[in-house]
Each structure stands twice: as structure tokens, then as C-alpha cells.
Structure 1
Amino acid sequence: MPACTQCDGLMESLSFEKPREYLELARRLLNAINDGKMSLIESTCPLQDLFGAEWPANQVEHDFECSACGRKFQLFADTYLGRAGWGVTGPQTKDPTLAAIATT
């Protein structure tokens, strides 16, 4: 399948050392959802709860899908074990060029 210009910049797996880095990506993803580029398909809490005064839980997971190609991603954090990361969890399921044509 052709490359997806909408999510190819998110293909790199990441491990976060600092909460600020995690929240920067979460903010970027929240903007992508608001712009219709990504969908939040499953989560342990609302994405906006990450920006509150207190962390919503010891473990949080947010699963996303690219609206153009259907590729799936996961953002997760485990504050108890001190791990947090981002990665691809599923392949493209639709042709992004056809999705782009359908939305214009």
C-alpha cells in the first residue's frame, strides 16, 4: 500500500523518559483527533484527563486509528513500573490515497 502522509510521522516507536515528553505527544494526538486525522478507539480514561492536576491511574492506555489508512497505534504509561511509550499496533487497513479522495 502507498505511504500515508497523515500518520507516517508517527511510525517510530518511542519510550519516554520524562512526563513532559509523554504529554507533548498526548497533546499532539488530541489535536489530531480534533482535526479528524486520528480517532481514539479505546482507552482507560479520557485523553484530556492526562492534563489534570492528578494522574488518572497507575496505568493508562490510549489506542488510536489513523482516519486515512486505518493503521493503529497505542500510547501507554505505567507510573508504578516507570514505563511509558508509543508504538504501532496494527498495519494499514485501507489505501490512504483513496481515503483522501473520498474526503475531498
Structure 2
Amino acid sequence: MYNLYKEYLEYFDLLDNQILLRSRDRKLEEANKKYENLINETKESIIRYSQLKFHEDISSSINTLSKYQIFDLLDHLYDFKEFEELKKHLQNLKILIF
């Protein structure tokens, strides 16, 4: 009888772990989707800003940036006074544009 009870508890522990793992995986997927949406919105904002301020389209260059490079560019975006400065910064990020 004790063995049956022990197996019963082990089975419920296994079920609990599976439920927790599924819940964790779902939360990770949701967080990844939110992060990707944030990155896409950031890209769009940078592109619109450069078009408004410099009248230049940098969308092809932005799409080649990594997530970290996008946020780095966003940190410095308002410091650029001329398009050549922005272009040089992108080239420093190891991006070949134009």
C-alpha cells in the first residue's frame, strides 16, 4: 500500500513539474514577442526620425543591426547634427551602408 501511495505522489509531482514548465515556456514566449515588438517599434522610430531630420532612408541599414546595436543607436540618435555623423556611427557599428 505504501508503494502505491509513493507512486501516486511521484506521479503528481511529475504532473506539477510539467504544468510549471509549460507555464514558464508560455511566459517566455510572451516576453520574447513583447521584446521583438519593442525592437520593431524602435527600428521604425529610428527610420522615421532619420527621414524627418535628414531626409534619408536608412531602413536597409537598420534591418541589418543586432538588437544591441539598435539600442546603442537609439541612445545616440539625437546627438547627430548631420547625416554624415549618423552614417559614420553606423559604419563604426560594422555596418556597410550606401
Is this a same-fold pair by TM over 0.5?
no
Structure with more of its chain in strand, by fraction: 1
Bigger relative contact order, structure 1 or 2, given CA contacts below 8 A and separation 6+? 1
Larger Rg: 2
